C-alpha cells in the first residue's frame, strides 16, 4: 500500500467484512477496511450463530478454531422448538452445534481476528461520501478527508443499508422481499429448556414469528418480525405487537410472568434472499446482508454472510490472477453464491408463501410432526 492506494477496499467490518479480511491474512493484498462505527459496537439482531457460520469460521485456521472454542460470550444451542398457533410444538435438533451470542461480543471477536491481518489498514468511525467507478480503479471518498482511497476492487460488506449496494447495484427496499423486526433483552424468562431456541407462530402475525433465544447469564433475546409488505398493509406496530403478544398469548404470558425487560425495544430491517439479485459488477462484489442473502423463513443471515465472504475471497484470487475485474468476469461470484444458496433460499421462500395466513396448515403440520419426534433428529442431521 502506498499512501491511499490499496488492492482492496472493504466497506463494513461486521461478520462478512471481518471474515473476508481474516481469510486474506498472509495473502499479500493491501486492504482498506472502512466502518462507520468503532468496535466493540452493538448490532440489533436475533443473535443466533448457526452451524454454517461455525464451520466457515473454524475453517479459517486452526488458531481461529481454537480461539473461537475459547470465546466465552456464547451459549450453545441444541436446536429449536416451533410452536403452532394452537400450541402444538415440534423440536428440531441440530447436528452441527450452533450458538447464541450478543452481536456486541461476537462481532468484536470477528473484528479482533481480522485485525491479525497486518496488511489491512482500518478507517473506523468514517462515513463514505461517494464511490466512483473508473476503468482501472475505484475511488472512495470519506467525509472530511482530503484525498480519496483507491483500489482495484471494492467489497460491499456494509449490511442491510449498504451504500455500495445502493450506489453500484441500484438496490432499493422491496417490501415483498424484506422483513421488519424488533428485539429486546429480558431477564428471568421461564423456558422449559434453556438450550433450545423457541419460535412462536401466531395467528394474525403470519408470515412471521415471535422468538425467544436464550443467552448466557439468564438473559434472553426476545423479538418479533414480519414481512414488510404485510406490516404496511395491516398497519402493524411491531413494538406494540411484541408487548401485546407477551401479554395476550397464554403460554408466553406464563413464561414472562416474572420477566424483566433490559433496555429498549429496538428495530431493524432484513433484506431477504427470496429473489435473485445481481450481487457483483465492474470492480465490486456484495457480501452478506448487503447482498440480500437472509433466510426468508427464519430471518437468519450470519451463516450466509460468512459463506458469501468465503466465496468472495475465491473470486478475489481469480480476479488478481487473471487481472480481470470487469462485470462479466465478476459473474462467476454470483453463480457460485447462488449455486450454494438458491435452492435453499427458494425453498424457504416457498414455505413462507405457503404458510401465509394459513394458521390451520401450521397447526396441522406441527401437530403431525409432534407425533413423530424422530423427525426432529432426522431433519436436524442436515442442518
In the numeric block, which cell numbers belong to residue 83?
410452536
> Is 267 in contact with 238 (CB distance < 8 Å)?
yes
Residue 94 covered by a domain: no
Residue 361 covered by a domain: yes
> Going by C-beta distance under 8 Å and a sequence separation of 6 or more, which residues neighbour residue 68?
54, 57, 58, 109
Whether residues 247 and 158 fall in one domain? no
pLDDT of 348 reads 87
> Is 205 in contact with 227 (CB distance < 8 Å)?
no
Beta-strand relationship, 8-11 and 31-35 = parallel
How many domains would you assign to the chain? Answer: 2
Euclidean distance between CA atoms 35 and 126, whole angstroms: 6
Whether residues 187 and 263 fall in one domain? yes
CATH code of the domain in which 215 resides: 3.30.9.100
Whether residues 288 and 376 fall in one domain? no
Comparing CA positions, the residue from 261, 219, 218, 217 lying closest to residue 239 is 261
Beta-strand relationship, 8-11 and 48-49 = unpaired
Comparing CA positions, the residue from 249, 270, 155 lying closest to residue 201 is 249
DSSP 190: -
Whether residues 120 and 169 fall in one domain? yes
The three-point CA angle 133-138-144 to 5° equals: 100
CA distances (Å), origin 289, targets 163, 170, 270: 12, 15, 7
pLDDT of 381 reads 43
Beta-strand relationship, 89-100 and 48-49 = antiparallel
pLDDT of 112 reads 98
pLDDT of 280 reads 98
Write the burial class of residue 155 (CB in 10 Å: 0-12 exposed, 13-18 middle, 19+ buried).
buried
Segment (H or E) for 223: strand 219-227
Question: Residue 40: is the preceding peptide bond cis (ω within 30°)?
Answer: yes
Whether residues 161 and 297 fall in one domain? yes
pLDDT of 227 reads 94
Rounded to an integer, what is the distance from CA 99 to the centroid of its chain? 14
Euclidean distance between CA atoms 252 and 192, whole angstroms: 12
Euclidean distance between CA atoms 212 and 75, whole angstroms: 14
Q: Which residues of the chain have pLDDT under 50?
A: 1, 375-383
Whether residues 316 and 340 fall in one domain? yes
List of E strands, 39-152: 48-49, 75-83, 89-100, 120-124, 128-133, 138-142, 149-151
Q: Which domain holds residue 57?
A: 8-75+101-174+273-353
Q: Name residue, grid cell 404458510.
A: 355
Residue 382 CB coordination number (10 Å): 8
pLDDT of 363 reads 66
pLDDT of 376 reads 46
pLDDT tens-place string over residues 209-235: 999 999 999 999 999 999 999 999 999
Residue 160 covered by a domain: yes
Whether residues 279 and 250 fall in one domain? no
pLDDT of 377 reads 47
Euclidean distance between CA atoms 81 and 93, whole angstroms: 9
Whether residues 339 and 329 fall in one domain? yes
Amino acid at each position: 500500500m502506498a499512501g491511499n492506494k490499496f488492492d482492496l477496499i472493504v466497506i463494513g467490518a461486521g461478520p462478512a467484512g471481518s471474515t473476508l479480511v481474516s481469510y486474506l491474512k498472509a495473502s499479500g493484498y493491501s486492504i482498506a477496511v472502512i466502518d462507520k462505527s468503532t468496535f466493540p459496537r452493538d448490532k440489533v439482531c436475533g443473535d443466533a450463530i448457526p452451524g454454517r457460520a461455525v464451520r466457515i469460521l473454524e475453517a479459517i485456521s486452526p488458531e481461529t478454531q481454537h480461539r473461537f472454542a475459547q470465546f466465552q460470550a456464547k451459549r450453545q444451542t441444541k436446536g429449536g422448538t416451533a410452536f403452532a398457533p394452537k400450541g402444538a410444538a415440534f423440536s428440531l435438533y441440530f447436528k452441527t452445534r450452533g450458538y447464541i451470542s450478543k452481536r456486541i461480543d461476537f462481532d468484536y471477536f470477528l473484528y479482533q481476528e481480522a485485525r491479525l491481518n497486518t496488511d489491512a489498514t482500518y478507517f473506523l468511525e468514517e462515513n463514505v461520501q461517494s464511490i466512483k467507478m473508473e476503468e482501472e480503479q475505484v475511488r472512495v471518498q470519506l467525509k472530511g478527508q482530503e484525498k480519496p482511497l483507491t483500489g482495484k476492487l471494492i467489497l460491499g460488506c456494509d449490511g442491510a443499508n449498504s451504500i455500495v449496494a445502493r450506489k453500484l447495484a441500484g438496490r432499493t427496499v422491496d417490501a415483498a422481499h424484506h422483513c421488519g423486526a424488533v428485539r429486546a433483552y429480558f431477564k428471568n424468562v421461564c423456558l422449559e429448556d434453556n438450550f433450545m431456541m423457541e419460535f412462536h407462530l401466531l395467528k394474525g402475525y403470519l408470515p412471521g414469528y415471535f422468538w425467544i433465544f436464550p443467552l448466557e447469564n439468564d438473559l434472553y433475546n426476545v423479538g418479533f418480525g414480519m414481512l414488510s409488505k404485510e406490516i404496511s398493509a395491516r398497519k402493524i406496530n411491531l413494538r406494540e405487537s411484541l408487548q401485546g403478544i407477551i401479554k395476550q398469548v397464554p403460554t408466553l404470558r406464563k413464561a414472562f410472568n416474572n420477566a424483566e425487560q433490559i433496555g429498549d425495544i429496538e428495530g431493524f430491517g432484513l433484506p431477504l434472499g427470496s429473489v435473485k439479485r445481481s450481487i457483483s459488477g465492474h470492480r465490486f462484489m456484495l457480501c452478506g446482508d448487503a447482498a440480500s442473502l437472509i433466510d426468508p423463513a427464519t430471518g437468519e443471515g450470519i451463516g450466509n454472510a460468512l459463506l458469501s465472504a468465503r466465496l468472495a475471497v475465491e473470486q478475489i484470487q481469480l480476479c488478481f490472477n487473471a487481472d480481470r475485474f470487469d462485470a462479466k468476469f465478476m459473474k462467476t461470484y454470483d453463480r457460485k453464491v447462488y449455486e450454494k444458496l438458491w435452492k435453499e433460499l427458494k425453498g424457504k421462500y416457498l414455505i413462507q408463501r405457503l404458510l401465509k395466513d394459513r394458521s390451520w396448515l401450521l397447526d396441522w403440520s406441527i401437530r403431525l410432526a409432534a407425533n413423530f419426534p424422530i423427525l426432529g433428529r432426522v431433519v436436524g442431521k442436515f442442518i
